[in-house]
């Protein structure tokens, strides 16, 4: 057997075998909407059976491959992560293609990729006649994508712990650095998923005590905890017009924006870590600041009609956007230009690294702000030796460089995506907003799509472009963009 460190080729047979495992897992998740379709006696049940059968056959064929070596390194991890999000979206769109929603291949892929990346942008004009099975499937794929497809596999397929598990973990999990909760990656994956599952179940139970029926509670529990934002109703949460529902959803959207490793430590008795964490403190302060700005703007625009307008509604909106859930108040378009600026800033920044939220992440903003502060000081004191300190620990200059490079590339992708969208027919304002919305996995729209983000009228080529940007944003740029470099493929 060749020593891995000297191996110059990519282990494609092993990649295909792992993809087979993942397709089998996806087929298992399809049993959930199948059960819902059967429960509601919908004809779409047969479509889910067909989708499960096709996915199982494809997965079985790939699993039958016998690679000469099961070793996987960094290149395999990056390629596998990029491929699996695309392949699972291709098979995950089968129920949309076969159902009575009559979506085209472009629309079905867009809807599925938007789900897996927890963007929440939709091409469905109305949810009124959409089958219950499809509504459940939309929320299930958001829930899977929220914590991560690869991370789930690391939790349930322990053998990957020895075969490039750490590389797979780093390729998918968001953030500047990736701290393991346990010595083995599979234990870390299980711990994070355990927290995710417990929070999701808790949310579903709490929503079940409202006017929602259990189906609506389950769907909104899955989509809220993943900070995805898909709903079962055209008006989303506003359809229930309930202070209780909004309050519960606000709490869990906020939790979805926290680093799940911190929540895990809090649940296991290490409560000091979360309150000493700088990113968590900034997350709370930024959310509070945006809430105050939105409240003031509502007052100045003369939109106050009840206490909710200056209390719960602005808070709901602030938490929804910064966590990238993307749920909006029905009258948000009337809140004025200041609210739009606050919204754009929150979309760009996002919440904490290691959460289910999108955006550039607060952790990187902290590094940038402290680096700029040091540079101002160094201008007056050229001989000063300064370091960026995070959580009481010095940060290496290499890490600072990575953050600066990431933020530059993040802006470059937004602008590059906007240019392509303009060439495809969108006006400049819509193009910039939609590009930012896609890369931040927020899913909001503007004039061309409506503030709730319905993308049915966007040209097909623009939908493929936005789907690509969604994936780039969800996997934090490098995992996807590296595939377009010569260095990645060079032996």
Q: What is the pLDDT of residue 378?
A: 84
Instruction: Between 66 and 472, name the one with better pLDDT.
Output: 472
Which has the minimum average pLDDT: 185-199, 312-326, 349-363, 471-485?
185-199
The predicted model gives 85-106 an average pLDDT of 91
Instruction: Between 150 and 201, name the one with better pLDDT.
Output: 201
Instruction: Between 477 and 202, name the one with better pLDDT.
Output: 202
Q: What is the pLDDT of residue 2?
A: 38
Instruction: Between 17 and 183, name the one with better pLDDT.
Output: 17
Q: How many CB atoms lie within 10 A of CB 367?
A: 22
The predicted model gives 187-207 an average pLDDT of 89
Q: What is the pLDDT of residues 113-122, one digit of tens each?
A: 999 999 989 9
Q: Is the pLDDT of residue 303 over 50?
A: yes
Kindly list the distances between the CA atom of residue 276 and the CA atoms of 130, 191, 272, in Å, as whole numbers in the listed order: 46, 21, 6
Q: What is the pLDDT of residue 166?
A: 55
Q: What is the pLDDT of residue 94?
A: 95
Instruction: Between 489 and 271, name the one with better pLDDT.
Output: 489
Q: What is the pLDDT of residues 35-73, one digit of tens each?
A: 999 999 998 899 999 999 999 999 999 988 887 777 777
Q: What is the CA radius of gyration of the chain?
A: 22
- For residues 82 and 20, the answer to whether their CB atoms sit within 8 Å is no
Kindly list the distances between the CA atom of residue 95 and the CA atoms of 112, 410, 433, 467, in Å, as whole numbers in the listed order: 10, 33, 30, 18
- For residues 452 and 328, the answer to whether their CB atoms sit within 8 Å is yes
Q: What is the pLDDT of residues 232-255, one digit of tens each?
A: 998 888 888 889 999 999 999 999
**pLDDT tier at 5 (50, 70, 90 boundaries)?**
very low
Q: Is the pLDDT of residue 436 over 80?
A: yes
Q: What is the pLDDT of residue 353?
A: 86
The predicted model gives 200-216 an average pLDDT of 94
Q: What is the pLDDT of residue 331?
A: 67
Q: What is the pLDDT of residue 208?
A: 94
Helices 31-39, 12-29: axis angle to 10 degrees equals 20
**pLDDT tier at 3 (50, 70, 90 boundaries)?**
very low
Q: What is the 3-state secondary structure (H, E, C) of the chain?
A: CCCHHHCCCCCHHHHHHHHHHHHHHHHHHCHHHHHHHHHCCCCCHHHHHHHHHHHHHHHHHHHCCCCCCCCCCHHHHHHHHHHHHHHHHHHHCHHHHHCCCCCCHHHHHHHHHHHHCCCCCECCCCCCCCCHHHHHHHHHHHHHHHHCHHHHHHHHCHHHHCCCHHHHHHHHCCCCCCCCCCCCHHHHHHHHHHHHHHHHHHHHHHHHCCCCCHHHHHHHHHHHHCCCCCCCCCCHHHHHCCHHHHHHHHHHHHHHCCCHHHHHHHHCCCCHHHHHCHHHHHHHHHHHHHHHHHHHHHHHCCCCCCHHHHCHHHHHHHHHHHCCCCCCCCCHHHCCHHHHHHHHHHHHHCCCCCCCCCCCCHHHHHHHHHHHHHHHHHHHCCCCCCCEEECCEEECHHHHHHHHHHHHHHHHHHHHHHHHHHHCCCCHHHHHHHHHHHHCCCCCCCCCCCCCCECCCCCHHHHHHHHHHHHHHHCCCHHHHHHHCHHHHCC
Q: Is the pLDDT of residue 1 over 50?
A: no
Residue 381's contacts (CB-CB under 8 Å, 6 or more residues apart) are: none
**pLDDT tier at 160 (50, 70, 90 boundaries)?**
low
Q: What is the pLDDT of residues 306-358, one digit of tens each?
A: 888 888 889 999 999 999 998 877 666 677 788 889 989 999 999 998 888 88
Burial (CB count <10 Å: 0-12, 13-18, 19+), residue 287: buried
**pLDDT tier at 4 (50, 70, 90 boundaries)?**
very low
């Amino acid at each position: 057997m060749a020593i891995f460190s000297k191996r110059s080729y990519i282990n494609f047979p092993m990649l295909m075998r792992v993809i087979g495992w993942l397709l089998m897992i996806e087929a298992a998740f399809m049993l959930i909407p199948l059960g819902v379709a059967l429960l509601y006696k919908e004809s779409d049940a047969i479509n889910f059976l067909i989708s499960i059968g096709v996915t199982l056959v494809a997965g079985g064929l790939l699993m039958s491959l016998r690679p000469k070596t099961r070793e996987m390194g960094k290149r395999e991890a990056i390629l596998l992560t990029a491929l699996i999000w695309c392949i699972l979206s291709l098979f995950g769109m089968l129920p949309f293609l076969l159902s009575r929603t009559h979506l085209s291949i472009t629309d079905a892929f867009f809807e599925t990729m938007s789900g897996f990346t927890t963007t929440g942008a939709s091409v469905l004009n109305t949810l009124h006649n959409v089958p219950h099975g499809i509504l459940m499937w939309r929320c299930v794929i958001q829930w899977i994508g929220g914590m991560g497809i690869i991370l789930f596999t690391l939790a349930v397929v322990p053998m990957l712990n020895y075969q490039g598990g750490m590389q797979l973990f780093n390729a998918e999990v968001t953030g500047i650095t990736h701290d393991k909760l346990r010595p083995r990656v599979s234990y870390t994956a299980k711990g994070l998923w355990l927290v995710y599952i417990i929070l999701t179940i808790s949310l579903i139970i709490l929503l079940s005590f409202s006017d929602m029926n259990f189906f609506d509670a389950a769907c909104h529990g899955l989509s809220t905890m993943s900070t995805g934002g898909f709903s079962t109703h055209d008006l989303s949460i506003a359809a229930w017009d309930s202070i209780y529902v909004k309050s519960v959803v606000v709490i869990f959207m906020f939790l979805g924006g926290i680093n799940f490793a911190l929540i895990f430590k809090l649940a296991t008795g290490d409560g000091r870590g979360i309150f000493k964490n700088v990113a968590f403190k900034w997350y709370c302060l930024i959310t509070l600041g945006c809430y105050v700005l939105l409240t003031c703007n509502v007052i100045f625009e003369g939109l106050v009609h009840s206490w909710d307008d200056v209390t719960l509604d602005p808070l709901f909106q602030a938490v929804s956007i910064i966590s990238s859930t993307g749920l909006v108040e029905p009258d948000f378009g009337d809140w004025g230009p200041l609210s739009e600026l606050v919204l754009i800033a929150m979309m760009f920044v996002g919440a904490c690294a290691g959460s289910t939220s999108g955006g550039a992440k607060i952790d990187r903003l902290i590094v940038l702000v402290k680096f700029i502060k040091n540079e101002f000081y160094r201008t007056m004191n050229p001989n000063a030796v300064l370091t960026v300190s995070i959580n009481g620990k010095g940060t290496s200059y290499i890490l600072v460089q990575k953050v600066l490079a990431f933020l530059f590339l993040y802006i470059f992708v937004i602008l590059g995506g906007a240019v392509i969208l303009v060439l495809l027919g969108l006006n400049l304002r819509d193009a910039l907003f939609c590009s930012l919305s896609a890369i931040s996995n927020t899913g909001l729209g503007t004039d061309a799509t409506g503030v709730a983000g319905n993308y049915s009228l966007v040209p097909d080529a623009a939908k493929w472009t936005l789907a690509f940007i969604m994936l780039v944003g969800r996997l934090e740029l490098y995992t996807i963009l590296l595939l377009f470099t010569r260095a990645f493929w060079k032996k």
